[in-house]
Chains A and B, each alone.
Chain A
Amino acid sequence: MTAPSVEGVALRHRLAERGLDRTLLLLLPAAVFVAGLFLYPFLYGLQLSFQPQDGGGVFANYAEFFRDGYLRDTIATTLWLGVPAALGNVAASVPLAYRMRGRFRGKRLLTTVLVVPITLGTVLTAEGLLTFLGPTGWFNRVLLGLGLVDEPVRLTHNYWGVLFSLIITGFPFAFLLTLSYLTGIDPSLESAAATLGAGWWQRFRFVTFPLLVPGLAITFCLSFVLAFSVFPSAILVGEPSGGTRVISIAAYHAAFEEYDYSMGSAIAMIMGVVELLVIALVLGWRATLYRGSTGGKG
């Protein structure tokens, strides 16, 4: 064996200084995974969307989507479900997480109860909603029994059923994320604000909330992406051919009922672009906020 030349050692040191060394090989499995299971299908779908089944040029599918009101309106329908659901989840998670920051008896039990809906799955939630909120469900029977309404309130097989389902299944994500952002804020900041004369609302309004907002923006984005790809609940507790005909139903319909994979891919691409636009908007706004240290351990 010969000793490595001086030049060889020097080159290796220079590369290491730029972060290039053999530990980079550890990234290989993940890179292969991402390329095989995300990048390839995505690029395949993208090129497929530019090869319309019925000809008419590269952009024919996209032109058709925006010409056909039945297809075009699915964007608005889905946004009209996804944005309120994500906002509702974030808004509901803040007061709960705020109350649950500290240590108290029964915290673990309460957290479990709040997080359980994650494990239920959409189908079980949908079934529960149908029996609970349906025309002959407990909710309507109670309202009728109390004489508050003359006929059952329609809360399933329409917009509201899907919105409830999205909030129930999406809330645990939003809650857990918000809780972890909140526990990352140094509690002595609120103590300091209290000694300076701030009541609980002022402490929340001027100290905790501004430090939490960047985290809430991320929470909103994740909740929104989850809600925007709604599919099962839109069919099970919604009105899949009318009021809750969301964009994923349109894509499914094109690809697997009309066997137009090219159109299905185009709709999926449009879906992705809409999601990216909303996220870009939110993150752009987040970039204008204070995002530095919040003093905690988080």
Chain B
Amino acid sequence: MTARKISELRLEGVSRGFGGRLALDGLDVTIKGGEFVALLGPSGCGKSTALNCVAGLLPLTAGRIWLDDARIDTLPPEKRGFGMVFQNYALFPHMTVRANIGFGLRMRKTPAAEMRTRVDEALRLVQLADLADRLPGQLSGGQQQRVAIARAVVLEPPLVLMDEPLSNLDAALRLEMRTEIRRLHQTLGLTTIYVTHDQEEALSLADRLVVLRDGVLQQAGTPEQVYTEPANRFVASFMGYRNALELPVTGGEGRMVRLEDGGGLTLTGVRRGEVGGAGATAVACVRPEDFTVGDGPNPVAAAVEVVEYHGRESAALVRADGGVALHVRTSARLAPGDRVTLSVPPERVLVFAP
């Protein structure tokens, strides 16, 4: 299968309001042909709204969408020709797997012989050839998901839209389908927009991430950029910086900033964006796994409160002597009540404006 190649999909100030509230506020994103882009954010951030706007299922309140040189936001969904995979799969329950996959081709009045070969090819692609005559109700969740994907890609659409396609599957199946989706993208090279709230899913699948919050774009970049250089404290907390400590600034030089809680906790970290000088407040973000138990830079004296066993590591909630709670992941064996000293390298502490 070869897809109709596009060179880019451009969203210009795309906004969508619901009852006076903007669920999506002026989104500007350009997606290049063949790219796999993940729209990432917590529920209610506008990512599904953005996807439905691109699909044509929701009219825009403001803005434009361009597919190469054609303006498409005024077209109804059936004229856009994009493939879409829904969160609940939305398979037609009264049609067989074959009829479901062939539905789009049938709407395009494809000759029967061509339709048969293309559906067969799509069935092979998702490894469902022997279930072609079943009804969706007779399939497992993972199989239904494969049918939904086959139904979307059989049309060789210029753009594939996926709305949290893995969120209804159990953990093991989710990992398997994730690999499957990645493999499909590598084989077919279809330009894909993938909506998810799971940052691990987004990091592992996408060529580029677009992080949204309350309908506003927070950061767009490669998974590595977003993971290692989050643009603000929100993106940081979404990317695993579980400790966000709001503390007074007491000094610093160059790109380093020093924060103190007045109770013995002193953290030196890297300045990110506009951070005020001494007297201002800033937020220090640290990943639980960046703490080490033992003496080192940025030492923190603390007591262990709660320990969760996670196999190779354990996650602990510890309280610094000044009263600040910290999340820590470590392979050291900790027990509630233990006195520990934690340390973290200054370059692993990101300091943002509050």
Residues of A at the B interface (CB closer than 8 Å) are 186, 188-189, 191-199, 202, 206-207, 210-211, 290, 292-295
Q: Which residues of A contact B90 (CB under 8 A)?
A: 186, 188-189, 191-192, 295
Provided the pairs A194-B77, A195-B77, A197-B107 are in contact, do residues A189 and B92 lie with their beta carbons within 8 angstroms? yes
Binds A, one of B81-89, B198-206, B215-223: B81-89
Interface pair B57/A198, CB less than 8 Å apart: no
Interface code B53-80, partner A: CB below 8 Å = 1, 0 otherwise? 0011100000000000000000011101
Whether B135 sits at the interface, judged by CB under 8 Å, is yes
Whether B241 sits at the interface, judged by CB under 8 Å, is no
B137 interface neighbour in A192, A206, A293, Cβ under 8 Å:
A293
Provided the pairs A186-B88, A192-B86, A195-B77 are in contact, do residues A290 and B94 lie with their beta carbons within 8 angstroms? yes
**How far is B88's CA from A191's CA once the two chains are assembled, in angstroms?**
12
Q: Which residues of B contact A295 (CB under 8 A)?
A: 88, 90, 93
Please, could you name 26 A-B residue pairs with CB atoms under 8 Å apart, sorted by A? A186-B88, A189-B92, A191-B77, A191-B84, A191-B86, A192-B90, A192-B91, A193-B92, A194-B56, A194-B57, A195-B83, A196-B107, A196-B155, A197-B81, A198-B103, A198-B107, A199-B78, A202-B107, A207-B92, A211-B93, A292-B93, A292-B94, A292-B135, A292-B137, A293-B137, A295-B93
A211 interface neighbour in B88, B94, B135, Cβ under 8 Å:
B94
Whether B151 sits at the interface, judged by CB under 8 Å, is yes
Q: How many A-B residue pairs have CB under 8 A?
A: 76
Q: Which residues of B contact A210 (CB under 8 A)?
A: 94
**How far is B92's CA from A186's CA once the two chains are assembled, in angstroms?**
10
Interface pair B57/A197, CB less than 8 Å apart: no
Q: Which residues of B contact A197 (CB under 8 A)?
A: 78, 81, 104, 107-108, 155
Interface pair B57/A196, CB less than 8 Å apart: no
B270 to chain A, nearest CB (A): 45
Residues of B at the A interface (CB closer than 8 Å) are 55-57, 76-78, 80-84, 86, 88, 90-94, 103-104, 107-108, 135, 137, 151-152, 155, 161
For A185, the closest partner residue in chain B by CB is: B93
B83 to chain A, nearest CB (A): 7
B155 to chain A, nearest CB (A): 7
Interface pair A195/B78, CB less than 8 Å apart: yes
For A203, the closest partner residue in chain B by CB is: B78
Interface pair B76/A195, CB less than 8 Å apart: no
Q: Which residues of B contact A211 (CB under 8 A)?
A: 93-94
Interface pair B137/A196, CB less than 8 Å apart: no
Q: Which residues of B contact A290 (CB under 8 A)?
A: 93-94, 135
For B83, the closest partner residue in chain A by CB is: A195
Among all A-B residue pairs, the 10 with the closest Cβ atoms: A196-B104, A290-B94, A192-B90, A197-B107, A194-B77, A195-B84, A188-B90, A198-B107, A197-B78, A194-B78
Interface pair A188/B88, CB less than 8 Å apart: yes
Provided the pairs A188-B90, A211-B93, A211-B94 are in contact, do residues A193 and B83 lie with their beta carbons within 8 angstroms? no
**How far is B84's CA from A189's CA once the two chains are assembled, in angstroms?**
12
Interface pair A196/B56, CB less than 8 Å apart: no
Q: Interface of chain A, helix or strand or loop or mixed? A: helix
Interface pair A294/B107, CB less than 8 Å apart: no
Interface pair B103/A196, CB less than 8 Å apart: yes
**How far is B90's CA from A186's CA once the two chains are assembled, in angstroms?**
8
Provided the pairs A211-B93, A290-B93, A290-B94 are in contact, do residues A206 and B77 lie with their beta carbons within 8 angstroms? no
Further contacts, 7 of them, CB under 8 A, given A191-B57, A195-B82, A206-B92: A186-B88, A189-B92, A189-B93, A192-B91, A194-B76, A194-B77, A295-B88
Interface pair A196/B151, CB less than 8 Å apart: yes
**How far is B108's CA from A202's CA once the two chains are assembled, in angstroms?**
11
Interface pair A294/B93, CB less than 8 Å apart: yes
For B57, the closest partner residue in chain A by CB is: A191
Q: Which residues of A contact B155 (CB under 8 A)?
A: 196-197
**How far is B94's CA from A207's CA once the two chains are assembled, in angstroms?**
8
**How far is B77's CA from A207's CA once the two chains are assembled, in angstroms?**
16
Q: Which residues of B contact A293 (CB under 8 A)?
A: 93, 137
**How far is B94's CA from A2's CA once the two chains are assembled, in angstroms?**
59
Q: Which residues of B contact A192 (CB under 8 A)?
A: 84, 86, 90-92, 151
For A292, the closest partner residue in chain B by CB is: B137
Q: Which residues of B contact A186 (CB under 8 A)?
A: 88, 90
Most buried by B among A195, A293, A294: A195
Q: Which residues of B contact A193 (CB under 8 A)?
A: 92, 103, 107
B57 to chain A, nearest CB (A): 5
**How far is B155's CA from A193's CA once the two chains are assembled, in angstroms?**
13
**How far is B90's CA from A260's CA once the two chains are assembled, in angstroms?**
60
**How far is B83's CA from A87's CA once the two chains are assembled, in angstroms?**
39
Q: Which residues of A contact B108 (CB under 8 A)?
A: 197
Q: Which residues of B contact A188 (CB under 8 A)?
A: 86, 88, 90
Q: Which residues of A contact B107 (CB under 8 A)?
A: 193, 196-198, 202
For B157, the closest partner residue in chain A by CB is: A195
Q: Which residues of A contact B94 (CB under 8 A)?
A: 210-211, 290, 292
**How far is B76's CA from A191's CA once the two chains are assembled, in angstroms?**
11
**How far is B55's CA from A188's CA once the two chains are assembled, in angstroms?**
13
Interface pair B82/A206, CB less than 8 Å apart: no
Q: Which residues of A contact B56 (CB under 8 A)?
A: 194-195
**How far is B56's CA from A198's CA once the two chains are assembled, in angstroms?**
13
A246 to chain B, nearest CB (A): 38
**How far is B80's CA from A189's CA once the two chains are assembled, in angstroms?**
17
**How far is B93's CA from A193's CA once the two chains are assembled, in angstroms?**
12
Q: Which residues of A contact B135 (CB under 8 A)?
A: 290, 292
Most buried by A among B81, B103, B151: B103
